[in-house]
Structure 1
Amino acid sequence: MALKKSEQFALFDVDVPVPAPADVQAHEALQPSLFDVVEGKSAEPITELADATVESTTNAATVDDAEPDVSETTPAAPPPISLPPAGESADGHAVIVTAAGTYTPSGQVLTGPVDSVEKLDKLIRWATLTPLGAPAQIWVVGIDACEMLGWVIDPGSEDDVDDMEVLRTRAAQELSGVLQATLNPMLTAGWELRGDPGHVVHLSRTTGKFTSMVDIVIEPYVWTYWNKDFGWGNRVGDMGILGSPTAGTYLPDDDLSAARELGRRLAWCAQHLGVLPGPTPARTGAAVVDKIKRERTRSGKGIVVTAAGPVPPLDGEHRGDLEPAVGWTRVPDPEELDGAAVLVSIDQRAAYLASAGMLEFGYGKPRHLRAEVARAAAEEAKTPFGLWHVTLPAGNMLALPDKMPLPHPHMLADQPVQTWVTTVSLDAFCAPVADGGIGAELDDLDITEAWVYPEQGRALDKWAKILREARKVAVDTDDAAMKRFLGSCYKGYIGRMVNPDMWTAKQMQHHHQPLWRAAIIAHCRWRGRRVAMRIARETGRWPLRTVTDSWVYPLPDGIDIADGSDALGKMTLEKRAALTDDLVTALTVARDTHEINLAIKAVFTDEDEGNY
């Protein structure tokens, strides 16, 4: 039965029993709702009380005789404001905490303010959240909510430091100290810290053989964590699901508006990616991979990669990337600017995501092949995935267009170069010049050794499909925040494949796949070159500059060099600027490629915006 209104009590005044492992599922199914019917009324958010009320049902039924502990009550707070409805996909997996109250991601009111760590512990245990590709999450939104929990730091002002990294480091250290000093009630209650606490507090609690995990994400302090997902030098960059302050996609300043938008994004991520967002975009990409891995393991269908694929020991290994992204500029001939009216930049649409879904990647323990055996393997009908030690001929010895970069960043114009390349580049070299290659025979490349993998297949095809379909939803609905987030997810994940330090946990080591990343970069580079050669054939126009997968052209009016298709990997118009007299003059009088780059940057911002 429902409690009479005079008998209602606040959640935080009740000792909530922790379910035994065998009862976890039943406990979740019978969890008392904070939207229960009161006095026969239809279910609706309860906003009359500072703390929402619960109905006596299952394990909580024993609290019928409980009375509020008046000695621990806090001054009455304004009733929680109900957030507008949103998707419910993240409900049961995450809770949002503000100074006004707590909410499900879909906007339903749960409780009043969480003004102590003890109440936070009680909320977590009551909510019995379940993981969704990542541990369950408690999001603390707004500095006022942090102050209620005693999580206040004062690292100083950015105006007082020359390097933002100094302030960030100071803030991160201070935050860790504050958290360690205030989390004792939760540790005493049986929770354990996984790693040092920071903007994400990783907690676990073991009861018998059952271990529950929850991540507390402290929104106002996310900026204290820096890596290439979050910031570049002195500026704050993309902060995962929270967005980018520089791009205008960060959460609103008002706490409840921020909670509302965060709930929408959490639900969106759960619905379209099938996971909660990770602490960084790269971790979100990894969570999607792991979700697919678990599904394939259960079904016995599809490729399941369980081990890391580090770079094998290479003789004569080049420093830096095995397959660098291209970066090239040239000084234009004066006649190329005659009649040109615009400067355009075209860019492959979601280039890395497109290649990740197309390519077959190697896995398993690689075999080392010498000389004749390596050359024989390269001549197989289907060249195995791997690395090949080749000699690249001098660019000047080949019939290559002089208004294009050399086909591989390791190539030199005036002398041969010995280097390691992926199978993707090996295939590219054998392609005709018109298709972006050099028209080489395998004998021309003088393969001396190789590392090849026993298994290969489209290991990331489903991953790419999930992100591709989610991206389409974001594009179709003009959802800039989620479009950028997805771009950060796939680029962050592919970028971090090269770094074993990102994947030190045993269950995460299979994400360390530097050769997959190298193959993706090589494929994007080759595909862009192939398009540039086609544009030259069809229009007689040549690029002035290329960086990664974007190409800059001076064009007359009426020429459209972008692809008509909206498929991933196709060329889309990224930027466009009028070719003014001043710009023509700057390009004409430029003495070297550095001055050309300065002139182009003056009209094109360097914001990494076209590849999402």
Structure 2
Amino acid sequence: MKSAPVASHALPADRHVLLATVDGTFTPGGKRLAGPVDSVEKLAKLIEWAPGNGMLRPFRLPDNESWSSGQVRFLGSAGAALFGAAPADDAERADTLGQLSGPLAGLVDHGWELRRTGAGRLELAKGSGATRVAAEVMIDVNPWLMDGGDPDVGRCLTRWAETVGVLPEATAAQSGQAVLEQIMVARTGRKNSGAVVTAAGAPPDDVNVELRIQPEWTAPEYVLDRGFDHAEDLVWLEQECPELASAGMLTLGYGRPQRLTGKAAQSEAAEDRKFGLWLVTFPPAGELGLPPQLPLPHPAMRVDEPAQAWITNEDLIGLSKTVRDGGADLSVEQLKVAEALVWPEQTRVLDTWAKRLRGARKVLAPDPAVRALVEYAGRDYIASLTDADHAVWLAAIAAHIRFRGRRAAMRIAREYRLWPLYMRDAAMIYATGRDEVTGEHIELSDTDSTSLGRVMVTRSVELSDELILAAVTAENHAELAATLIAAVSAPVPTWIQTDTSGADPATGRAGSVTVSVESQGSTETSVVQGNSDSAETQAKQAASAAAAIVREQGLQIPAAVLDVDGLWLPDGTRVDLPEPIVHAGQVAQLVYTHDLGYRLSPTFAEPGQIWITEAACRQFGIDVDSIDKYDRDKSLRAATEGIDFITLALADGWRFGGKTEESGAVRMGAWTRIYRADGDARGVFVALIPGMDPDRKVMPILQGASAAQIARRLQLLANALGYPWKINAGVTAIDLMVQTRTRSWTRAQWMNEVLAPSTTSEPYGIGDVERDFDWSRPPTSDEACCRYVHAYDRGGSYVAAIAGLELPIGDSVHHPEGTRFDPKVPGYWRVAVPEQQDWRLPYLLNPAGLKFTEPKWMTTPTVQRALELGYDLDILEAITWPRHGRVLRGWYERFLKASTDLDTYDPDTRAPRDLDADAARNQSKVVRTRGVGLIGSEQFLKGKTGYSPERRLHIIAKAKANIAYRIDQIGQATGNWPVAAITDAIVYISNDPDPRSAWPGPKETFGRGYGQYKPAGSSLLTEHTQFLTGGGYTGMSALTKPDEWAAQMSAGDR
């Protein structure tokens, strides 16, 4: 009998791990030891009994000095009886320390010790010396070890430990990290064993680098049309394990980076450069002769104008390559390096890590399920390196993968004259046909190479006329992308479990411990003793599941608008209704009839929405005139009570979500969930437009809009944000926070740790410092001789502050006597506020000019900026958060994308080219502004998901600190100082009537982007001095709007 290959660093899982399921307790090899562990007493006995029988043995760590305890893993819902795990459809929420330690606390009285070892896990230990027993207890509700397609968790765990040499962690990313940590532990204290490196070292907060491989891109229309000529198949071409291919070969930096400017930065960027980041200016891409059939080589590049960005060594190398090889023929000199961040040390940090995983992958070639797990661990660990201390490594790896993909695309173009129709990350979609010479099907896979990173066709579908028509008639990028992705959607894995209760003669295994998915969203753990379903039945089930996924992926219309003349879809189509609508159930049915809904993942979509206009509401018998504009929802509910529109729907089997009145009456508000009594309880949303606040500051998408325009604006907003508008700005903002979880967090960690409601109270008086600027000063005698004042608004000031901001996670720690200030650690700091040093600018530590008589609390960004401005601060007391991260970066990126995608501003006319896109852009502003405010609202969010006053205060503080930085930079460089500041606007005096050329700051800081400044209003100084008094500033409303001021200048009135 030939056993499976085992690596030299193998870890025998049966000696160290036991698996507890609802059917019993097993070794990973499948040997049944006992029944379910459903009581504390049984768990204690198991831990005491197992070591004497060769199980739950501790194992030595690679440093040969430390030991790790064995593990008892509760799979699926096995821990419910003992720990009170959440119901199956919400099982991930069981991953909390409280649910573990609470039931086990009674063991302390019997000599047991409890020690936390990680999220959702702790160690139980008893005794000392040779009689000591210990085990780590871990809840694994939805084991990621099933993700390879094999439900036999025990087998997968065994093979993982044998080939990788560590036990798998709770997620793929954490499992990949565990491998690196083991390697670094093994090097500790050993000579010539390699560098012990755990982090790169964070760049300054104002340095942001591109972490994406390739943002989603679709081909221009003419490429699409030509691509389908003579094509027979649509293929998905992707790099094979691109992260593992790149990570090990790259030299990565570590240590504290040095910042260089000017000639020093340019000299460092020359050949034989150290690992670094480089602030470059890309020339307009349209001048470089790049193929328009591919996306630009760097996401920050622009076709018609220069663009500045921080890039990595891999970007410099890739950009210097010829266009033929995927580059841009750009030398370092052409990129005009302005600044550099150079790391003092460098090595191939991930070389041994990548070799370990590549070796395991090779050993596991006959075992595709576990091999896939190794690939997921490598991929997800690299993708998780988004925190400040590792992001530069991720940026370098992403750039390396990006340019390898471009080289492949250029090779295919040369060999087959084919261009991709779609690109995202390390994957491309092509339409392929037959070779013109040989008549054979074109094979795009790189079969001449066996190296990881080669491009391989992994999915293929025959092109149909319907698919081609759907692609060429797609209205926009998002619709085309959705069409192509859905067409080549990966099939559902169909691993068939055929274990029997006896030992397998090929493997010697006694059975299998599996977590079998019985229905979507629920898991049950069991031991498979046979396979009752035929292969034919399983194939049908797999096909059905795949079809369901494809149908779900097709949902890309979030809402339609119902008016008296029909139903309006986002593309401008008006659908005539086959019969008059008399009740709300018929309205809800329109969602299903027209496949409304918005896909967020391959298996989940937000419910579709029908918005009803005022005219249609009147037609349905709703007394719109009785709606009170000061309490729209309450008065609308009163207006809909007892009307036929609702009662007839109830009689027809429809049900209404929300509270039912004490009288039993059903009413409708501005938003109502409606569902079938015998159908999907999620239902659909029906929105009554008269119940919404039409103010442009609340619902700009309703401003001057027809039914067709509202539908289009809702579509534009959903596509730009990647999430549909739902109920109100606050709900949309918080739901989007939930949706933007990164791979480095499990859903349970994201909900129960990152977005768990805060329990830390705001220190008294912190709002005196952490507030927006409200300041003015009288002009100097020289300034009084000037003619104009211009105000400049900082774009997306709050949300722009989030990008590099470390935000608190979890519980805080109080330091009554203060502690050393660390700019990377979020915190509240009580400080004796010194006197202001410079009267020419607003005071960062007293932004509203209040009278302070005692020390004040402030946040980390404020303290950091004050120290940088030269203030000496005495910290008297502190509250800090030891756990922190850039947890809202994904949320910020959604709004950045929306702001960019929906910006149709025409600099010549100073107006938007597309009013619908402009309205959707303004609506996204409402969401982000309301979101920042809501997370700190005790009235509306306390005790609920996302509640975090400390995060709100840190965001406000960072925005204020950024404004203070820019004011000081401009003043020191040019001698121009503001005369007023209010919230995110600053006011300067000038003799130049044009606010664009009068902007005193660097050119790159002027514009409509996040963190840039744009004109907000102008005035004659003589008419504005009344607002420049030395107190708060109230003059914004007295300024002439930019477009009106420009018209007056053109007419010669200024």
Structure 2 length-normalised TM? 0.41
Q: Given the superposition, is the C-alpha separation of residues 415 and 212 from structure 1 closer, same or farther in structure 2, using an over 3 Å criterion? A: farther
Distance (Å, rounded) in 2 between the aligned partners of 1:108 and 1:356 = 39
1:575 corresponds to which of 459, 469, 488: 459
The answer to whether 1:288 aligns with 2:179 is yes
> Which stretch of structure 1 is more off in the superposition, 264-273 or 210-219?
210-219
The answer for the alignment partner of 1:363 in structure 2 is 254
Q: Given the superposition, is the C-alpha separation of residues 409 and 88 from structure 1 closer, same or farther in structure 2, using an over 3 Å criterion? A: closer
Q: What displacement does 1:324 show? A: 5.0
Distance (Å, rounded) in 2 between the aligned partners of 1:551 and 1:411 = 20
Q: What displacement does 1:209 show? A: 13
The answer for the alignment partner of 1:78 in structure 2 is none
Structure 1 residue identity aligned to 2:83: W
- Is the CA contact (8 Å cut-off) linking 1:365 and 1:454 kept in structure 2? yes
Q: Given the superposition, is the C-alpha separation of residues 599 and 356 from structure 1 closer, same or farther in structure 2, using an over 3 Å criterion? A: same
The answer for the alignment partner of 1:214 in structure 2 is 135
1:192 corresponds to which of 110, 114, 124: 114
- Is the CA contact (8 Å cut-off) linking 2:47 and 2:133 kept in structure 1? no
The answer to whether 1:127 aligns with 2:50 is yes
Distance (Å, rounded) in 2 between the aligned partners of 1:197 and 1:597 = 38
Distance (Å, rounded) in 2 between the aligned partners of 1:203 and 1:309 = 35
Which structure exhibits the higher relative contact order, with contacts defined as CA atoms closer than 8 Å and separated by 6 or more residues?
1
Within-5 A mapping of 1:225-244: 239-241=143-145, 243-244=146-147
Q: What displacement does 1:531 show? A: 0.8
The answer to whether 1:493 aligns with 2:381 is yes
Structure 2 residue identity aligned to 1:383: R
Count residues with an aligned counterpart. Answer: 464
Cα distance per residue 1:434-485 (max 9 Å; x no partner) = 11111112111110111112221211111111111222233x21432x1332
Q: What displacement does 1:212 show? A: 7.8
The answer to whether 1:464 aligns with 2:464 is no
The answer for the alignment partner of 2:413 in structure 1 is 536
Within-5 A mapping of 1:422-461: 422-461=312-351
Q: What displacement does 1:274 show? A: 0.5
Within-5 A mapping of 1:91-490: 91-98=14-21, 102-108=25-31, 110=33, 114=37, 116-128=39-51, 129-131=57-59, 135-141=69-75, 143=77, 146=79, 150-153=82-85, 155=87, 158=89, 167=90, 171-172=93-94, 178-188=99-109, 189-194=111-116, 198=120, 200-203=121-124, 207=128, 214-219=135-140, 222-223=141-142, 239-241=143-145, 243-244=146-147, 248-249=149-150, 251=151, 261-313=152-204, 315=206, 317-318=207-208, 321-333=210-222, 334-380=225-271, 382-474=272-364, 476-480=365-369, 482-490=370-378
Structure 1 length-normalised TM? 0.69
Q: Which has the higher strand share?
A: 2
Structure 2 residue identity aligned to 1:499: D
The answer for the alignment partner of 1:13 in structure 2 is none
- Secondary structure (helix, strand or coil) at the match of 2:286 reads helix
- Is the CA contact (8 Å cut-off) linking 1:150 and 1:182 kept in structure 2? yes
- Is the CA contact (8 Å cut-off) linking 1:88 and 1:106 kept in structure 2? no
Structure 2 residue identity aligned to 1:530: R
Q: What displacement does 1:119 show? A: 3.2
Q: Given the superposition, is the C-alpha separation of residues 532 and 590 from structure 1 closer, same or farther in structure 2, using an over 3 Å criterion? A: same
For structure 1, list consecutive stretches of 5 or more residues without a partner in the other structure: 1-85, 159-166, 224-238, 252-260, 501-511
The answer to whether 1:553 aligns with 2:430 is yes
The answer to whether 1:598 aligns with 2:482 is yes
- Secondary structure (helix, strand or coil) at the match of 2:112 reads coil
Q: What displacement does 1:180 show? A: 3.6
Structure 1 residue identity aligned to 2:168: P
The answer for the alignment partner of 2:892 in structure 1 is none
Q: What displacement does 1:177 show? A: 5.2
The answer to whether 1:587 aligns with 2:508 is no
- Is the CA contact (8 Å cut-off) linking 1:100 and 1:112 kept in structure 2? yes
Q: What displacement does 1:322 show? A: 4.4
The answer for the alignment partner of 1:525 in structure 2 is 402
Distance (Å, rounded) in 2 between the aligned partners of 1:119 and 1:424 = 56
Structure 2 residue identity aligned to 1:182: P
Cα distance per residue 1:478-516 (max 9 Å; x no partner) = 432x1332222112211222236xxxxxxxxxxx42111
Within-5 A mapping of 1:52-63: none
Q: What displacement does 1:273 show? A: 0.5
Distance (Å, rounded) in 2 between the aligned partners of 1:435 and 1:192 = 58
Distance (Å, rounded) in 1 between the aligned partners of 2:198 and 2:82 = 42
Q: Given the superposition, is the C-alpha separation of residues 582 and 388 from structure 1 closer, same or farther in structure 2, using an over 3 Å criterion? A: same
Q: What displacement does 1:339 show? A: 1.0
Structure 1 residue identity aligned to 2:58: T
Distance (Å, rounded) in 2 between the aligned partners of 1:443 and 1:121 = 68
Q: What displacement does 1:425 show? A: 0.4
Distance (Å, rounded) in 2 between the aligned partners of 1:303 and 1:365 = 19
Cα distance per residue 1:499-552 (max 9 Å; x no partner) = 36xxxxxxxxxxx42111111111100100011111111111111110000111
- Secondary structure (helix, strand or coil) at the match of 1:531 reads helix
Q: Given the superposition, is the C-alpha separation of residues 180 and 478 from structure 1 closer, same or farther in structure 2, using an over 3 Å criterion? A: closer
- Secondary structure (helix, strand or coil) at the match of 2:170 reads coil
Q: What displacement does 1:210 show? A: 12
1:516 corresponds to which of 393, 397, 404: 393
Aligned-residue CA RMSD (Å): 3.1
Distance (Å, rounded) in 1 between the aligned partners of 2:79 and 2:310 = 52
- Secondary structure (helix, strand or coil) at the match of 1:91 reads helix
> Which stretch of structure 1 is more off in the superposition, 397-406 or 293-302?
293-302
- Is the CA contact (8 Å cut-off) linking 1:310 and 1:514 kept in structure 2? no
- Is the CA contact (8 Å cut-off) linking 2:446 and 2:456 kept in structure 1? yes
Distance (Å, rounded) in 1 between the aligned partners of 2:341 and 2:477 = 38
- Is the CA contact (8 Å cut-off) linking 1:285 and 1:490 kept in structure 2? yes
The answer for the alignment partner of 1:16 in structure 2 is none
- Is the CA contact (8 Å cut-off) linking 1:118 and 1:185 kept in structure 2? no
Structure 1 residue identity aligned to 2:19: I
Cα distance per residue 1:332-385 (max 9 Å; x no partner) = 4233322111111210000111101111111122222222111111113x2211
The answer for the alignment partner of 1:26 in structure 2 is none
Q: Given the superposition, is the C-alpha separation of residues 180 and 399 from structure 1 closer, same or farther in structure 2, using an over 3 Å criterion? A: same
Structure 2 residue identity aligned to 1:119: K
Q: What displacement does 1:208 show? A: 8.0
- Is the CA contact (8 Å cut-off) linking 2:201 and 2:256 kept in structure 1? no
- Is the CA contact (8 Å cut-off) linking 2:115 and 2:124 kept in structure 1? yes
Cα distance per residue 1:405-424 (max 9 Å; x no partner) = 00001111111111101111
Structure 1 residue identity aligned to 2:344: P
- Secondary structure (helix, strand or coil) at the match of 1:451 reads strand
Moved over 6 A (4+): 208-213, 606-609
For structure 2, list consecutive stretches of 5 or more residues without a partner in the other structure: 1-5, 52-56, 62-67, 435-440, 494-1054
Q: Given the superposition, is the C-alpha separation of residues 93 and 448 from structure 1 closer, same or farther in structure 2, using an over 3 Å criterion? A: same
- Secondary structure (helix, strand or coil) at the match of 1:150 reads helix
Within-5 A mapping of 1:70-85: none
The answer for the alignment partner of 2:12 in structure 1 is 89
